[in-house]
Amino acid sequence: MSDLSVKGEQIEENQNNILEVIQVENLKKRYKRIIALDGVSFSVKKGEVFGLLGPNGAGKTTTINILCTLSQPNSGVAYVNGYNVIHQSNAVRNSIGLVFQETILDNHLTAEENLYLHAMLYGVSRKEYLQRKRELLKFCELWDKRKVRVETFSGGMKRRLELIRALIHWPQILFLDEPTIGLDPQTRRKIWDYIFTLRKKKNITIFLTTQYLSEAENCDRIAILNQGIIVALDSPENLKKVIGEDIIFLKTDDNQVAEREFQAKFPNYSIKWIGKELRVKVDNGDKFLPILVKAITPRIISIELRRPTLEDVFLEITGRKIRDNN
């Protein structure tokens, strides 16, 4: 493995010109009988924020593990920063920073010691380490806590420290595996503020997975993963266009009659059952709403007009909600 990484260093000069920092082709991974990834292909451009969405068990963490060289695919190829994840794993490891799903810090040690150990593992020089430590700790408002043991930190503080740790070796690509899971909404927003500001400042590529669709709206592009297959890949705006301009949720005394009447009067629009409600996709919702109310005879119990969210996109494509408790 080591002699291959030497080859990797020789082509380092070309690395800066790469436009697609992650390339994945037909990735397959099986765990005994469970198929985790069933032919996944995508690519991520330099400087992009790329989001991988999917319910639990869709294969998000498997994908990240393969890209981070923690796990090997059964077939298919993946390149990170121009390096093959299987044959040039050390070069890949040098190019990436990781924030794992679970919190991974040495609790007995101080914030500073945690950063120091990481910087040493990545061969960061002492001068660079001191300078970056100062900049990042100050930026993430942990400078005053640098000599405090991590065990006393709150969840949000730990996450910020992990973010700093992942960045202390200036990676080309930052992997974030559900970075805000288990945090309260306020802390979540703050974490994202840090991530996006840092990204602009340092021009790093960000690859993230999340279950919070509101957070995914901030991505440049999103891939939706379901049962080991990518079912959609586009910008959040384009994905939402699939659904249409506006959607109306309608609940009446007799939904079946309402559905039949709707289909007869407005054959151009589609109507669909979502649970106990009817969902209508329309172009110009605010003008259509009064027409709809007049056109339907069963008594209306509730009616709601809104712009489609990614949650609706997800529901449309996969047929289930992203965080289904059942």
Partner 1 sequence: MNKKLKTLYIIWYREVLIYLRNSVKFFTSIFLPILILVFFGAGLKTMFPVSILNCDFVQFFFPGILGLSISIMAISSTMSIVWDREFGFLKEILVSPISRSSIILGKILGATTTALIQGALILLIIPYLGIDFSKFLFIKAMLIIFLISYGVAALGILLVSRLKKMESFSIISQLIFAPMAFLSGAFFPLNNAPAWMAKMAFYNPLNYGIDALRWVILSESLLKEEISLITSHSLFLCVVVLLGFNLLITFLSTRVFNKSIY
Binding site for partner 1 (CB under 8 A): 2, 68-71, 90-91, 93-94, 96, 98, 100, 102-106, 108-109, 113, 117-118, 120-123
CB-nearer residue toward partner 1: 1 or 34? 1
Task: Kindly report the backbone phi and psi dihedral angles of residue 304, in degrees, each rounded to the nearest multiple of 5, phi listed first.
Answer: -140, 130
Taking the complex as a whole, the smallest distance from the CB of residue 138 to partner 1 amounts, in Å, to: 23
What secondary structure, in 3-state letters, does 234-255 show?
A: ECHHHHHHHHCCEEEEEEECCH
CB-nearer residue toward partner 1: 18 or 109? 109
What does the alpha-carbon distance between residue 1 and residue 87 come to, in Å, rounded to a whole number?
7
Task: Kindly report the backbone phi and psi dihedral angles of residue 192, in degrees, each rounded to the nearest multiple of 5, phi listed first.
Answer: -65, -40
CB-nearer residue toward partner 1: 121 or 291? 121
CB-nearer residue toward partner 1: 34 or 117? 117
Task: For residue 145, give the DSSP letter.
Answer: G
Rg (CA), the chain: 23
Q: Where are the alpha helices (DSSP H) in 122-270?
A: 126-139, 155-167, 185-202, 213-216, 236-243, 255-265
Taking the complex as a whole, the smallest distance from the CB of residue 187 to partner 1 amounts, in Å, to: 21
CB-nearer residue toward partner 1: 5 or 41? 5
Taking the complex as a whole, the smallest distance from the CB of residue 210 to partner 1 amounts, in Å, to: 19
Taking the complex as a whole, the smallest distance from the CB of residue 196 to partner 1 amounts, in Å, to: 24
Task: For residue 260, give the DSSP letter.
Answer: H
Taking the complex as a whole, the smallest distance from the CB of residue 95 to partner 1 amounts, in Å, to: 9
What does the alpha-carbon distance between residue 219 and residue 163 come to, in Å, rounded to a whole number?
18
